[in-house]
C-alpha cells in the first residue's frame, strides 16, 4: 500500500511523515529521457534522483572499451545518494535505460536533510547494502552463468520495474547489460521468442510468460530480490 500524497518511490514511501516533510518542499518532478546521463564517474552530481518509474542502468567501463551493466535502478531505488553522502563524487556511470518520472533534489539539500533525519540515513545505509548486493550478484552471474540465464535475470528485473509493460530495450542495450556481443543476445532472444516466453520486435520486448522466464533464469534474480525486499521492504 502506498502513502497518498507522496511520489511513488519506495524510499519516499518509507519515510515517516516528519522526515518526508523535510524533503517535500525541496523535491521537483522531472521526466527522465532515454539515454540521458544522470551520473558520470569521477564527476560531482548536482541532483539525487528518486525514480517514480522507468529504469536507470548503472555501468562500468573496462580498459578494453567494453561497457557492462552492473545494476538497474528504478522506483525501489535512489540514484546518486551514496555519492551525495560520501565525498560528492560519482563512482559509476548512470544512464537512463527507459524513461519515466523522477523526483529530484539538490545534492546539498539532500545531504542537509540526511544530517537532520536519522531514518533517512538508515534508509540510505540499507539502500547502499542493497546496491552492493546487486553489483556483487551481477558480477558473479556474468562470470559463471550462461547468456540465456543472465539475459533472463535482467529481463525479470526490468519487468519488475516496469509493471509488466512492454520494455523499450534494444539488443545493443541488452548486450551492454550482460557484457556479451550483440549476436549472442540475438540468438538467445530468438530462442526465447520461439519458446513463447517473450515477444521481440524493433527494440521492444514483451514478456509473455514470466514464470517460464524465471525458470530460465539462474538463482541470482531471486536471491537479490529477496535480499532487497528484506532490507528495504520494512524498516524498523
Kindly report, residue by residue over 198-223, the tens digit of the pLDDT. 998 888 999 999 999 999 999 999 99
pLDDT of 148 above 70: yes
Question: Helices 118-144 and 147-161, interaxial angle, to 10°?
Answer: 150
Mark which of 125, 160, 178 sits at the end of a domain: 125
Flag whether pLDDT at 130 surpasses 60.
yes
129, 65 Cβ separation under 8 angstroms: no
How far from chain centre, in Å, is Cα 117? Answer: 24
Least confident of 10-24, 25-39, 64-78: 64-78
pTM tops 0.85: yes
Confidence of residue 235 (pLDDT cuts 50, 70, 90): very low
CA–CA dist 54, 153 (Å, integer) = 17
Query: Is 109 part of a structural domain of the chain?
Result: yes
What value does the mean pLDDT of the chain take? Answer: 90
Give buried/exposed letters for 22-46 (b at 16+ CB in 10 A, else e).
bbbeebeeeebeeeeebbeeeeebe
Note down the domain range covering 110.
Answer: 10-125
With respect to residue 60, please indicate whether it lies within any of the assigned structural domains: yes
Q: What CATH number should be reported for the domain holding residue 182? A: 1.10.10.10
Tell me how far apart the alpha carbons of residues 134 and 152 are, in angstroms, rounded to a whole number.
15
Q: Is the pLDDT of residue 72 over 80?
A: yes
Residues 164 and 211 in one domain: yes
pLDDT band with cut points at 50, 70 and 90 for residue 48 = very high
Q: Does residue 52 form part of some domain?
A: yes
Residue 150: C-alpha distances to residues 19, 77, 174, 176, 225 (Å): 38, 21, 10, 12, 15
Supply the pLDDT for residue 2. Answer: 65
Q: How far apart are CA 184 and CA 195, in angstroms?
A: 17
Question: For residue 141, is it within any domain?
Answer: no
The answer to whether residue 231 is domain-embedded is: no
Cell 511520489 sits on residue: 7
Please give the tally of structural domains in the chain. Answer: 2
Amino acid at each position: 500500500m502506498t502513502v497518498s500524497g507522496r511520489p511513488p518511490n519506495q524510499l519516499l514511501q518509507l519515510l515517516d511523515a516528519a522526515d518526508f516533510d523535510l524533503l517535500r518542499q525541496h523535491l521537483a518532478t522531472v521526466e527522465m529521457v532515454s539515454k540521458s546521463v544522470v551520473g558520470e564517474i569521477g564527476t560531482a552530481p548536482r541532483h539525487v534522483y528518486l525514480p517514480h518509474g522507468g529504469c536507470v542502468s548503472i555501468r562500468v567501463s573496462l580498459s578494453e572499451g567494453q561497457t557492462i551493466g552492473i545494476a538497474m535502478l528504478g522506483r525501489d531505488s535512489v540514484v546518486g545518494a551514496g555519492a551525495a553522502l560520501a565525498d560528492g563524487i560519482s563512482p559509476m556511470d548512470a544512464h537512463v535505460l527507459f524513461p519515466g518520472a523522477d523526483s529530484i533534489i539538490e545534492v546539498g539539500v539532500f545531504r542537509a536533510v540526511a544530517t537532520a533525519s536519522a531514518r533517512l540515513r538508515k534508509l540510505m545505509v540499507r539502500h547502499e547494502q542493497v546496491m552492493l548486493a546487486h553489483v556483487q550478484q551481477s558480477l558473479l552471474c556474468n562470470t559463471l552463468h550462461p547468456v540465456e540465464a543472465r539475459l533472463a535475470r535482467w529481463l525479470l528485473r526490468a519487468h519488475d520495474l516496469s509493471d509488466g509493460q512492454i520494455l523499450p530495450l534494444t539488443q545493443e542495450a541488452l548486450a551492454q547489460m550482460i557484457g556479451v556481443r550483440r549476436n549472442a543476445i540475438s540468438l538467445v532472444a530468438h530462442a526465447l521468442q520461439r519458446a513463447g516466453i517473450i515477444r521481440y520486435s524493433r527494440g521492444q520486448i514483451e514478456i509473455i510468460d514470466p514464470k517460464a522466464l524465471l525458470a530460465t533464469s539462474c538463482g541470482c534474480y531471486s536471491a537479490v530480490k529477496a535480499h532487497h525486499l528484506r532490507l528495504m521492504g520494512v524498516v524498523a
